[in-house]
Structure 1
């Protein structure tokens, strides 16, 4: 799974190789402890223009489908199993039309050691951003008027798959990592072979996982109120 992540940079520093056309005005500040229901930046290709416009937008973590009565469902939909997307009504439509990339600096995972959960920080060894496959949705708040700028809420979920390699010793699930080429294909809203794109990304993820480093970090990360660069520092033996 992926229940916490880090975004140590902001704006175009996150997504240079993805060639974003438009950056939103309300992008969140860097954070070292992003948790579900918090706001993070995602990349999406808007099909409202021809060709599609690639945007970096602020979104709430936890997918809220358009048919939801309220936002509560999003708190439980921060991850989506890549192998089950087509079987889940909550994710099926987004898989076809609304795919996103979530750029992060790294993420946290908890390893169970003799009944004790030990947090680890997992990140690219070269310090470059890590791209995670996601889905997004727009939800209309019917309690707000047509002239209220907050009537539409953008939300997202992060896809996961079985862990492999050294990451498998930490947790049995890991995010679905994307290299820039697969990220481009994943974002393309005009593709008619989504399953092929998804399968290619799943097959390529192990090679990316092998390039990641991890180290144990302080249990302070378990408290969402803690948010500082010290959270990603290795704990002293």
Structure 2
């Protein structure tokens, strides 16, 4: 799964890196500890233009009676996303990318074969270079209040062997040469970066609280 990530670049860097021509996002600040249920930057395509905007992390299908479903839909499995009722419409018509500079996973520690707490890890590119996670977005209207909410989900897959012992799932991280094909819905598979592109290290357990919003350095040996 992907339940926490980091986006530590400026708005100007976002626009340049992902070739944004329509930056609609009203307010943006770098964030080291982003949890589901918050508004996050997403990138999607309208005609020949890439739009940068904000969406609620936790997808709300257009048919949902209320927004509570969002607490269960912040991730979509690549193996079933095309068939699941919550995601299949967005998969066909509303694809997006979620920019990040790293994500966090928690490794279960064992003592004599029994669980003995969890150790968080930061996972990403060397130098915290930005990357794009494959995502979907939806537009939902509250039938009672009329409020309109744009929401999104991050697509996940089996983790690379080297990080599988940290967590069995990971986000689909798109190679840059596939950005346009993904956003336009021109491919049905999930292109992925190479395993050697990623690095990882343990970080403080303070990352477990989203209120701790600062850079988490590698723990010393």
Match of 1:214 among 200, 205, 208: 200
Distance in 1 separating the partners of 2:135 and 2:89: 13
- Normalized per residue, the structure richer in helix is 1
Q: Which runs of 5+ in 2 are unaligned?
A: none
Mark the CA change 1:98 to 1:124 in structure 2 (over 3 Å): closer, same or farther.
same
Query: Is the 1:27–1:57 Cα contact (8 Å) retained in structure 2?
Result: no
The equivalent residue for 2:210 is 224
Where is the strand percentage greater, Structure 1 or Structure 2?
2
1:135 corresponds to which residue? 136
Q: Does 1:12 align with 2:12?
A: yes
In 1, the alpha carbon distance for the partners of 2:21 and 2:92 equals 22
Match of residue 234 from structure 1:
218
Q: Give 1:15 deviation, angstroms.
A: 4.6
Match of 2:81 among 68, 85, 88: 85
Q: Does 1:62 align with 2:62?
A: no
Could you say what secondary structure the match of 2:213 adopts? coil
Say if 2:15 and 2:23, in contact at 8 Å, map to a contact too.
Answer: no
Instruction: Give the Cα separation in 2 of the matches to 1:82 and 1:95.
Output: 10
Count of matched residue positions in the alignment of Structure 1 and Structure 2: 216
Q: Per the alignment, do residues 214 and 67 of structure 1 end up closer, same or farther by CA in structure 2, a change over 3 Å counting?
A: same
CA distance in 1, matches of 2:212, 2:127: 25
Give the one of 161, 164, 171 matched to 1:168.
Answer: 164
Q: Which structure 1 residue ranges, 4+ long, deviate > 6 Å from structure 2?
A: none
